[in-house]
Structure 1
Amino acid sequence: MIPLARRAAIGAVLVGSIAAGVLPAGAAQARPLTPATDREVTFTVDGTVTYGTLHLPVHRRGQRMPAVLLLPGSGSTDRNGDQPPALTPHTLAKLADALARDGVASLRFDKYGSGRTGLGAYADKPETIDYPAFVRQADAAYRLLARQPEVDRRAVRLIGHSEGALTALMVAVAAEPRTAGVGLLQPLAERFLDVLARQLHEQLAAAVAAGQMSPEEQRAIGRAVDRAVADLRAHRPIDTSAMPAALAALFQGLGGPSRRYVESIDAVDPASVARRLPPRTPALLTCGTIDPQVPCDTTTPLATALARAHTAGPGRVVLPGVGHDLTDPADPDVLAPAALDALHRFMRCGAPAAR
């Protein structure tokens, strides 16, 4: 962190006090309004140009606003929270709009493998990209956001959705400037391969319940899944011989060019990272009661870790009737009211006075 010089801080207080006594009441409010705008931004990290959108809400000229870095989920998810053309929930774009309505600026960007950024410097060697590269990319975005002239660097937060929540945690533990809060929305709450194995075991159980396979087949395939996970963690060739074709293809993909990424993200335990957060950091953790990817009970170790780190509220918030994409079941085009309420509570927690 590069702290403000003590003398400069004192000077700012004195100037503010003098100005308060000289300017007529309401002078600050009389400054002209600047309309909301999207600003295309770029930054370079590890030899790759990353493309993003800085969303600025309506604000007074010269105003310094709170801001949030928004981080997407797994796979080739772009700055809007989409994997076009098949998956377009616009999760991050909707979050940016919701924050703007509260006067909060935001930055979202196309991470490696998505949007205009693509694989960048890794295009000719995709097998060399690992999870720490994504963390460095997010950290560079956080620093860029804090440097924007419209942003109050005391009030920059991180919000990650799904796998992006883990990246938010990784950046937050050593963020410069110190983060004003970290939001974990439907987060990757367990180690990567533990989540994958749990989901596959649940699918096998559902197939038995639907009469699509026998319990004996379930046990055999389940053992094969556990062996494959152990192979990945031990850096061994993956044995897929006892798996159905579709499942074998999944693990062969995990053991292919993306293996370095898979092994490096699986090495990170979200709860262990959360325990390293600076004390009194405002933290939000959400889980939806109809989210099959992140059931609420799987977030308990992460919620406990946030408490042990002595973070501030709101803490874990259960979202009734909300799924993984945070949308309103009655209107999938908008975020669920419960998710918006949790977001508002988080942004108010520990917020500094307006500048």
Structure 2
Amino acid sequence: MKWTRVLLLQLALLSPMVFAEQTLEVPGPQGPLVGSLLAVSDPQAPMVLIVPGSGPTDHDGNNPLGIRAGAYRLLAQGLAAQGIGSLRIDKRGLFASRAAIANPNQVTMQDYASDVRLWMSFLTQRDRYRCVWLAGHSEGGLVALMAAQNNPDLCGLILLATPGRPMGQVLRSQLQRNPVDRGQLDAALAIIDSLQRGVPVKDVPASLQPLLRPEVQGFLISGFAQDPALLVSRINKPVLIIQGDNDLQVSVQDAKALNAARPGSLLRILPGVNHVLKAVPPGDHDANVAAYGNPDLPLANGVVEPIAQLINGTPR
């Protein structure tokens, strides 16, 4: 474990303060797991670990498949301006953590959750933090829920655009909402049904290979087996659920399901906010999609504020 780089980051638009951003490493299975720590000067400041969403999404919230919104970097900067530190991580096998495993497809949701728990333990043992807040976005919310189970290092949980149903159900809904060939849809739903039963499918049509190819089915099976509503019901620490009502991937109903499963959790529904936590005009599909590629568009109002209020208002 070592500090490898120090970079001064001036958050000119958010605060006149200068924060130190540092690269951290912890041992992964075959090589290091890497994260970026945005610290604040207060030695008693709380710490948030930001867990990235699905696919090849990096610690800034960007993805080579066209997502350049920088949502996690913006979240970290917004929290720093509120006196809250954060750690953004790259998943094992990807980006700065690519040496952690040779084949990034050979992972499970349990692997990702174990890595998050490792990071939490590292922060509490190496640094001054009594406990760590987890903020999971999208699929990262499910990883955070898994990592939070019976975890003494947990301060509380923030779920950002997190599904309230098992991943298989969410994927079915997303496919059914898209105008695709009926035969292709039927084939996809049949494969999902099989994976939900824990049974891999070898023969996947070419059109479905990007989503359901055999190489990623082990990961999908591990994710489909998790019920986020059940997981959140077992959390005995503060829980905040943030969901935009202009989200093309996760619904307000998902957020309400999580809220209902965990009495006492806080629910914030943000009008006009999409999946990457940006405000876009309601009903404007093109503007919604364009926001995924716009790092200059700030996070929507109402994203950072309730997180900071919860964390700074919770006794340490």
> Normalising TM by the smaller chain, what interval?
0.7 to 0.9
**Structure 1 residues 172-195: Cα deviation after superposition (integer angstroms, max 9, x where no partner):** 122232x22100000132211211
Q: CA deviation at 1:329?
A: 3.1
Distance (whole Å) between structure 1 residues aligned to residue 229 and residue 133 of structure 2: 19
* 1:153 match: 130
The question of 1:98 aligning with 2:78 is answered yes
How does the TM-score come out when normalised to structure 2?
0.82
Q: Return closer, same or farther for 1:35/1:147 CA change in 2, 3 Å cut-off.
A: farther
CA distance in 2, matches of 1:35, 1:91: 20
Counterpart of 1:147 in 2: which secondary structure? helix
| Structure 1 alignment gaps of length 5 or more | 1-33, 208-216
Q: CA deviation at 1:169?
A: 1.1
Q: 2:195 aligns with which of 232, 238, 241?
A: 232
Larger CA Rg, structure 1 vs 2: 1
C-alpha deviation, 1:43, in angstroms: 0.1
Tell me, yes or no, if the aligned pair for 2:26 and 2:34 is still in contact at 8 Å.
yes
Q: TM-score if structure 1 supplies the norm length?
A: 0.74
Name the CA distance, whole Å, in 2 between partners of 1:197 and 1:171. Answer: 25
Post-superposition Cα deviations, 1:94-127, rounded to whole Å, max 9, x if no partner, equal: 1111111111111111112321111x3531x555
- Matched position secondary structure for 2:303: helix
State the match for 2:6 in structure 1. none
Structure 2: any 5+ residue segments left out of the alignment? 1-16, 282-290
Which residue matches 1:18?
none
CA distance in 2, matches of 1:51, 1:324: 25
Any conservation in 2 of the 1:232–1:255 contact (CA below 8 Å)?
A: no
1:47 matched residue in structure 2:
30
More deviation, 46-55/79-88: 79-88
Q: 1:112 aligns to what SS in structure 2?
A: coil
Residue of structure 1 aligned with 2:56, choices 76, 99, 107: 76
Structure 1 residues 236 and 81: CA distance shift in structure 2, 3 A? closer
- Equivalent residue for 2:226? 268
Aligned 1:1-355 pairs, distance under 5 A? 35-57=18-40, 59-60=41-42, 63-84=43-64, 86-118=66-98, 120-123=99-102, 125-126=103-104, 128-149=106-127, 151-154=128-131, 156-177=132-153, 179-204=154-179, 218=182, 220-234=183-197, 235-237=199-201, 246=207, 248-250=208-210, 253-278=211-236, 281-307=237-263, 312-313=264-265, 315-329=266-280, 333-352=297-316
Distance between the aligned counterparts of 2:100 and 2:18, measured in 1? Answer: 36
Whole-angstrom CA distance in 2 between matches of 1:256 and 1:126 = 14
Query: Is the 2:138–2:163 contact (alpha carbons within 8 Å) kept by the matching residues of 1?
Result: yes
1:148 and 1:81 map into 2 onto residues whose CA distance is 26
Identity %: 26
User: Does the CA-based 8 Å contact 1:126-1:257 persist in structure 2?
Assistant: no
4+ aligned runs moved over 6 Å, structure 1: none
**Aligned partner of residue 145 in structure 1, secondary structure:** helix
